[in-house]
Chains A and B, each alone.
Chain A
Amino acid sequence: MEFQHIINEIKKVDPEMPERLSDRRTAMKSFAGIGAKIGLAALPFFIGSIFKKAYAQAGPSQNVVLDVLNYALTLEYLEAEFYAMGIAKGTALVPAGAPAAAIKTIGDHEAAHVQFLKTAITASGGTPVAKPTFDFTAGGTFANVFSDYATFLAVAQTFEDTGVRAYKGRAAEITKGGDLLTAALNIHSVEARHAAHIRTMRKANGFGDVKPWITGKESGIGSVVQASYDGEELSTQAGINIVNINGAMISASAATEAFDEGLTKEQVLAIVGPFIVQ
């Protein structure tokens, strides 16, 4: 029977597995009967509930995992639709060639993140949140976001840098989260790659004096996006001052650039709030 095979596979990596399940010994003994009664289709769910309890101490609770994943999904919806709408404007917005190719690369990744997270949420026993309705002008603040290249890239940079901070800010909640944590980290670093490239594009076009990394809490955009950069000026990590650390000539700027900072859920929701109609 397939189920017994799974048990044997688990025993290979965790010989103590039967002991972990000892309080469910009765259930273990009557698997065959249960299988016949509840039917094969229902088995995966049944198995999932057994192991969820037995291995609960191994990582974050299902509720926390699902909350983090749905939070991430909301941000990915925002980014994916933003790039899709920008790309739809064609060369009237983003110049052909390298710029258009880069925006397409990034947009494709964001769309892939949406699909991946939806699948992961469902596989984890949750329901993916619905896509909100967005207003990328943020109520008129960025009125020309899809007609002016500089504004488009400014909003893109803000979304990417905010995205990096958003994933980082909640990673600790899914400590010991296994492959789900790894997946979140693998998205996080892709967002950082995007951010670096968008920043390089803005610099190359003279839209902002920025580097691929964040210096102090400078956005190179203006006060309107400052909330996405506040806190990045931190130059002390785990109580250790990074400036000129251990006699090395590390400037205050380099000390802030060397570490990106997280944002809390509340901070991120306040930042993206103006872009969400409902």
Chain B
Amino acid sequence: MIQKSSEALSRRAFLGMAGAATGMMVLASSCSKNDDDNMMNNGVDLGSGDVGILNYAYALEQLEAAFYTRVAQSPYNGISASENALLTDIRDHEIAHREFFKSALAGAAISNLEFDFSAVDFSSRASVLATAKAFEDLGVSAYNGAGKLIVTPDYLTLAGKIVSVEARHAAYIRDLISNGSFADNTVVDMNGLDTSRMPADVLAVAAGFIKTKINASNLPR
């Protein structure tokens, strides 16, 4: 509570820095929401406090790793050697992130999530890169938004080590789609600030690709 109201105060004191991002919403609404697992349970509980935030990051890294694993298994038509090599690099980075969180969380880690990539045409460069762009920008905004929810300084540093790599991925993917769009005004506002999103907004977008129901209700806000 203390933190929340101090944020409200500083928000008032600051300029209009709440750079809301929009691009992702199209993607979100185009994906069907999965209600198979809605039955009697509330889904996989991410937990509370820093553990909850780390599990939240773990869930997103699971999503990215699963996606790029598929991309590397069946490269899209017309992929260049350079693209194949760098997309494989990205797969390895996301797997490294996923496994790092799994090891770091140990007994507190959520289970393996199941994904639904039926909206992606893995043979199509445009489809794969558009999805990759969405995931990378989403990941950057997720880490940026979660930073202020983290209580333990070392965890904040770790999140920082990962988010800049996600931003490098985002820039590369964006340049593949359209050279020069690495930091365009769909993600960077007039103050030169990247996008940040709170967990509820991020998970609403990601839910289109995640079969397993996730319960984020205990996360810090």
Interchain CB contact under 8 A, B164 and A55: no
**Interface check A261, CB cutoff 8 A:** yes
Summarize A's interface: helix, strand, loop or mixed: helix
- Report B15 CB to chain A, min CB distance, Å: 6
Residues A17 and B193 in contact in the complex (CB < 8 Å), given A182-B144, A194-B183, A197-B182: no
Q: Which B residues are CB-close (under 8 A) to A188?
A: 160, 163-164, 194
**Interface check B11, CB cutoff 8 A:** yes
Q: Which B residues are CB-close (under 8 A) to A180?
A: 10, 14
For chain B, residues 169 to 216, give those with C-beta under 8 angstroms from any C-beta of chain A: 169-172, 175, 179-180, 182-184, 188, 190-196
Contact of A257 among B93, B147, B154 (CB under 8 A): B93
Interface string of A104-135 (1 = CB under 8 A from B): 01101111110110011001100000000000
Interchain CB contact under 8 A, A240 and B148: no
For chain A, residues 155 to 188, give those with C-beta under 8 angstroms from any C-beta of chain B: 164, 167-168, 171-173, 175-183, 185-188
Q: Which A residues are CB-close (under 8 A) to B170?
A: 193, 196
* Interface-centre pick from B11, B104, B151, B161 (highest chain A CB count, 10 A): B161
Q: Which of A24-32, A136-144, A146-154, A248-256 contacts B (4 or more CB under 8 A)?
A: A248-256
Q: Which B residues are CB-close (under 8 A) to A85?
A: none
**Interface check A43, CB cutoff 8 A:** no
Interface string of B128-163 (1 = CB under 8 A from A): 000000000000100111011011111011101111
A106 to B184, CA, bound (A): 10
Q: Which of A8-16, A86-94, A222-230 contacts B (4 or more CB under 8 A)?
A: A8-16
Q: Which A residues are CB-close (under 8 A) to B172?
A: 196, 200, 212
Contact of B17 among A20, A179, A193, A245 (CB under 8 A): A179
Residues A213 and B168 in contact in the complex (CB < 8 Å), given A55-B2, A116-B193, A238-B158: yes
Interchain CB contact under 8 A, B190 and A185: no
- Report B156 CB to chain A, min CB distance, Å: 5
Q: Which B residues are CB-close (under 8 A) to A240?
A: 100, 103-104
Interchain CB contact under 8 A, B99 and A245: yes
- Report A228 CB to chain B, min CB distance, Å: 14
Q: Which residue of B lies closest to A197 (CB)?
A: B182
Q: Which B residues are CB-close (under 8 A) to A108?
A: 192
Interchain CB contact under 8 A, A14 and B193: no
Q: Which A residues are CB-close (under 8 A) to B195?
A: 186
Q: Which residue of A lies closest to B19 (CB)?
A: A186
A63 to B217, CA, bound (A): 35
Contact of B144 among A186, A211, A245 (CB under 8 A): A186
Q: Which residue of B lies closest to A47 (CB)?
A: B9
Interface string of B70-106 (1 = CB under 8 A from A): 0000000000000000100100110111011011100
Interchain CB contact under 8 A, A109 and B152: no
Interchain CB contact under 8 A, B95 and A250: yes
Contact of B164 among A17, A168, A242 (CB under 8 A): A168
Interchain CB contact under 8 A, A182 and B196: yes
A110 to B190, CA, bound (A): 11
A178 to B10, CA, bound (A): 8
**Interface check B1, CB cutoff 8 A:** yes
Interchain CB contact under 8 A, B167 and A186: no
Interchain CB contact under 8 A, A190 and B6: no
Q: Which A residues are CB-close (under 8 A) to B194?
A: 185-190, 193
**Interface check A4, CB cutoff 8 A:** no
Interface string of B46-68 (1 = CB under 8 A from A): 00000000000000000000000
A98 to B195, CA, bound (A): 24
Q: Which A residues are CB-close (under 8 A) to B100?
A: 237-238, 240, 242, 245
Interchain CB contact under 8 A, A251 and B193: no
Q: Can you give 26 contacting A-B residue pairs, CB < 8 Å?
A: A10-B5, A58-B6, A102-B182, A113-B191, A115-B191, A116-B191, A120-B15, A123-B15, A168-B161, A172-B156, A176-B151, A180-B14, A182-B145, A185-B196, A189-B143, A190-B167, A190-B188, A192-B171, A193-B168, A193-B188, A212-B86, A212-B172, A245-B96, A245-B100, A248-B99, A254-B92
Q: Other CB < 8 Å A-B pairs besides A116-B15, A179-B148, 19 of them?
A: A13-B8, A16-B1, A98-B179, A101-B180, A120-B14, A176-B148, A185-B144, A186-B194, A186-B195, A189-B167, A189-B194, A192-B165, A196-B175, A245-B96, A248-B99, A250-B92, A260-B160, A262-B157, A262-B160
